[in-house]
Structure 1
């Protein structure tokens, strides 16, 4: 049986180019986080009643890391854009990134590194020159990150305090090594750090001050440092470099905030509405950090958890039973401030009376709690946590 098919036509060049898979980029990149689907050219023409249908069979494309690149992932477009801005080079290229603690470290194809935190970007300063190790080279050093060229054949890297090198069970931080670069997070900046490549102990090179340049760069993509999300980012970064555990700093969201317009106040954040923490920010707090709130039983009376004083106000953070929707807080008979209750917590910036030289503001706090109908269900003082 013969079929009267149309003559075969050549595809236009631009169509062919769009159909061509980008193997060049795939070959130059490391293992990615996920799996990308690949359409296999199993095209079956089903001829029935003179109608032709194309059937495509899809199979998962399995990505395999190159030897020595375990722990290396591909940076996002946002990561790349932040580093290009920090470097002042919109042509800078990177397809390899390492995540250590709360830092992302991008390794450039030209050998330059870039570290991204929640609120900053770090690059090597213009004056910095690579520092030679006994074996290998340090080409990047920030508050915690050390990166550079590893000794030939190195497969692992660790950082230890020098006095702990020979100590059994000494605390170390483990980094990532590839044939052409290494990255390790020491969790601190200390001149007495040694690097351990496999079984080779190599003293850290002397890297002078001014070896890095830092700039404001927020993971949120919003350049305004005074959004609640970016205040959280700054609190998280400074807490991490002060020694806080990275896992304890993940996934915090804003709950209540006071003083954002004045650039001085307190932010109350939650993690899945099951844990809470505060961060004080302002001119007198160059490095804001998290203060985790205690886990308290459901209180019958309002509890003062913490407070922060400024020249004009006392910011009060408290906990109260969830049947109360709003509170009015004052210092004795002074001006009262109304605040919402969220997750059983409230935050109120209570004005301090000018000329009042009395101390113990916390002991003089007065609170009125109202339910959703506006009825007073509590009036009195606050207990201490």
Structure 2
């Protein structure tokens, strides 16, 4: 029996912007008909794409094999949970994938599937004693889901691949299912509060080959800890630590934030921080310290601006970029390109006097972000006003 795909429809704005960014990468900024034509091509393609993968795929990690990762085991032991899992000698790696510094390793521990996610500062391990969270009548279920967007679990053994999608049928990603164990992992770019649906996927399909099921929430992890506290010894690290300590209510995960770019204007200071799940701007000045948590504006991906109030009469232009980013050049409509410092996947600069949108209809500036080799990572618009 064939299950038809949902009818063609307009893609969500954030997905359209992500696709536009792909088309723009490597192109010089253009106004007028050339840019409009490129956007029209993207929208035409977008109108026909349902169930496609818009996220950068995770990559297998070379050398997967051997026993449990030292950080994963240390997190289990330090939390006093070693007695609740099979002995370390019984852990065997079955796969490992990475997206930037976010790495997920799949294990068989005492014959049971276990997943361990490590980021720059955190470790999260699924509970080997928990049963997969499956829908009634389904053999597919989750064992781990984290705020980074990671989803991991066990699929129906008859499925060669698994498609994860949203409630309305829009596809999020298609991932392989490990034949022997039936496990799968996916970096979905969605938070735990977003319902996900699962279904079988086969090579070359033009319609979904079977029904979808809604995945219940994953069981609580066995361990989720900050095992590598954020840097607090560099100038930006000290500034971030001082600002967080001065808050009336510091975040519970304050130690997990790595410092990013920093701005200073007399007694005013803005320092950025990134954890595996969130981005903050800690602002200090004569009136004390305040925190901006995930206050993103606009729809640009993967370069996103964080909304931070003016400090001492100057407006911060700050936000996040790919973690491999090394440089940013911006057009703020002043007639001269502006270099914006990039540090640890964040960017920060003061908007120059006379800054005005390059794209007035959207209120956007233009930026080009490149890695250390000069390879363009993003070439497109970012909210200015």
Instruction: State the TM-score bracket (shorter-chain normalisation).
Output: 0.3 to 0.5
The structure with more radius of gyration: 1
TM-score normalised to structure 2 length: 0.41
TM-score normalised to structure 1 length: 0.41
**Structure 1 or 2: more strand by fraction:** 1
